[in-house]
Structure 1
């Protein structure tokens, strides 16, 4: 399993635009082949910083989603909303404590 964290910093006036877009697309993203979990977080100190946190069965399935027409169209609409380049991490989960 792969854990994907993406940090996005938005221009203040674009945060609500992104939140609406996430609301409209979250079910479709979550239904993508290999995506087993999806959450959205907001930084406590800076409301213009948001993170997506998702689980993927494999890197290949994440890359398949990232190469899809749906992702490319969505990313094209989101890219102008950022105030800085998004950062992304792909991680292997080593341990979970319940």
Structure 2
């Protein structure tokens, strides 16, 4: 299992467009082969910063998503809204206490 965390910073006036588009594409992202979880978070101290958490069965599944025409469409739209360069991390879960 691979967990992907992406930090996205937006111009304040672009947040509604991002959220509207996320609402339209979130199910397609979640149902992409190999995706097991998709979550969106908003920073409590800076409303212009968001994080996506996605769980992937394998690095290959994530790469297939990132190379897809669907991802390119979503990313082309989203990157126009950024106020800063996005940051991304691929991590392994070491512990989970539920």
TM interval, shorter chain, is over 0.9
Q: Name 1:22's counterpart in structure 2.
A: 22
Counterpart for residue 36 of structure 2: 36
Query: How many residues of Structure 1 are paired with residues of Structure 2 in the alignment?
Result: 98
Aligned to 1:94: 94
- Following superposition, the deviation at residue 91 of structure 1 comes to 0.2
Normalized against structure 2, the TM-score is what?
Answer: 0.98
| Structure-1 separation of matches of 2:70 and 2:96 | 32
RMSD, aligned CA? 0.6
After TM superposition, what 4+ stretches of structure 1 lie above 6 angstroms from structure 2? Answer: none
In structure 1, how many angstroms separate the alpha carbons of the residues matched to 2:35 and 2:9? 23
Using the TM superposition, give the Cα deviation of residue 81 of structure 1 relative to its aligned residue in structure 2, in angstroms: 0.3
Gaps of 5+ in 1: none
SS class of match (1:81): coil
1:36-95 deviation line (CA, Å, top 9, x unaligned): 001100000110000101100001100000000000011111111000000000001112
Q: Which runs of 5+ in 2 are unaligned?
A: none
Query: Which string of whole-angstrom CA distances, capped at 9 and with x for unpartnered residues, describes residues 9-42 of structure 1?
Result: 0000000100001000000000000100011000
Give the structure 1 partner of residue 7 of structure 2.
Answer: 7
